[in-house]
Structure 1
Amino acid sequence: MTGDVRVGTVLLTPGPLTTSARVKAAMQRDWGSRDPEFVRLSAAMLDRLRVLAGGDAEHVCVPLQGSGTFAVEAMLGSLVAPQERVLLLVNGAYGRRMAEICRRIGRDFDVYEVEETATHDPQELGRRLAGDQGLSVVAAVHCETTSGLLNPLEDIATVTRAAGRRLLVDSMSGFGALPLDMAALGISAVAASSNKCLQGVPGLGFVIARHDELEARAGVAPSLVLDLHDQARALSGDGQWRFTPPTHVVAALVEALAELEDEGGPAARLARYRGNRDALVDGMRRLGFRPALEPELQAPVIVSFVEPKAEWYRFDPFYDALARRGFAIYAGKMRELGTFRVGTIGAIDTGVIERFLAAAEAVVTEMKQKLIR
Structure 2
Amino acid sequence: MSSLQNDAFPDPAKGEPFLLTPGPLTTALSVKEAMLRDWGSWDGDFRAMSKSVCDQLLGLAGDPDDAYVCVPMQGSGSYCVEAMLGTFVPRDGKVLVLANGAYGLRAAETMRYLGRAYTLIDKGDYMPPRGAEVAEALAADPAITHVIVCHCETSSGILNPVAEISEATYAAGRKLLIDSMSAFGAIDLDVTQIRYEAMVSSANKCIEGVPGFGFAIARKAELEGCKGNSHSLVLDLYAQWTNFVKSGQWRYTPPTHVVAAFLEALRLHAIEGGVAGRGARYTKNRDVMVAGMRALGFETLLKDRWLSPIIVTFFCPADPKFVFTEFYERMKDKGFIIYPGKLTVVDSFRVGCIGWMDAAIMARVVKAAAEALAEMGVASAAPPAAALAERAKLAA
Are residue 67 (structure 1) and residue 76 (structure 2) matched? yes
**Stretch deviating more after TM superposition (361-370 or 331-340):** 361-370
Alpha-carbon RMSD: 1.6
Paired with 1:263 and 1:107, the residues of 2 have a C-alpha distance of: 42
Q: TM-score, normalised by structure 2?
A: 0.90
Paired with 1:5 and 1:232, the residues of 2 have a C-alpha distance of: 45
- The 5 A counterparts of 1:116-131 are 116-131=125-140
Paired with 1:51 and 1:192, the residues of 2 have a C-alpha distance of: 15
Q: SS of the counterpart of 2:313?
A: strand
Instruction: Find the partner of 1:7 among 8, 11, 15.
Output: 15
Are residue 198 (structure 1) and residue 198 (structure 2) matched? no
Instruction: Find the partner of 2:101 among 89, 92, 109.
Output: 92
Are residue 27 (structure 1) and residue 35 (structure 2) matched? yes
> Which position in structure 2 is the counterpart of 1:232?
241
Identity across matched positions, percent: 47
Paired with 2:244 and 2:219, the residues of 1 have a C-alpha distance of: 15
Q: TM-score, normalised by structure 1?
A: 0.96
Q: Which runs of 4+ in 1 moved over 3 A?
A: 4-7
Q: SS of the counterpart of 1:348?
A: coil
Paired with 2:13 and 2:244, the residues of 1 have a C-alpha distance of: 38
> Which position in structure 1 is the counterpart of 2:159?
150
Q: In the TM superposition, what is the alpha-carbon distance from 1:61 to its structure 2 partner? A: 0.8
> Which position in structure 2 is the counterpart of 1:53?
61
In the alignment, is the contact (CA less than 8 A) between 1:6 and 1:326 conserved in 2? no
Instruction: Find the partner of 1:282 among 291, 299, 304.
Output: 291
CA distance 1:5–1:57, shift in 2 (3 Å): farther
- Aligned length in residues: 368
In the alignment, is the contact (CA less than 8 A) between 1:157 and 1:187 conserved in 2? yes
Are residue 265 (structure 1) and residue 266 (structure 2) matched? no
Show CA shifts across 1:254-300 (max 9, x none).
11111010001111111111111011111111111100000000000
Q: SS of the counterpart of 1:289?
A: coil
Q: SS of the counterpart of 2:217?
A: strand
Paired with 1:152 and 1:5, the residues of 2 have a C-alpha distance of: 40
Q: In the TM superposition, what is the alpha-carbon distance from 1:152 to its structure 2 partner? A: 0.3
In the alignment, is the contact (CA less than 8 A) between 1:50 and 1:59 conserved in 2? yes
Q: SS of the counterpart of 2:243?
A: helix
Gaps of 5+ in 2: 1-11, 380-396
Amino acid at match of 1:179: D
Paired with 1:114 and 1:150, the residues of 2 have a C-alpha distance of: 13
In the alignment, is the contact (CA less than 8 A) between 1:88 and 1:140 conserved in 2? yes
Q: In the TM superposition, what is the alpha-carbon distance from 1:126 to its structure 2 partner? A: 0.8
Q: SS of the counterpart of 2:71?
A: strand
In the alignment, is the contact (CA less than 8 A) between 1:276 and 1:344 conserved in 2? yes
- The 5 A counterparts of 1:223-372 are 223-368=232-377
**Stretch deviating more after TM superposition (114-123 or 234-243):** 114-123
In the alignment, is the contact (CA less than 8 A) between 1:117 and 1:292 conserved in 2? yes
In the alignment, is the contact (CA less than 8 A) between 1:5 and 1:328 conserved in 2? no
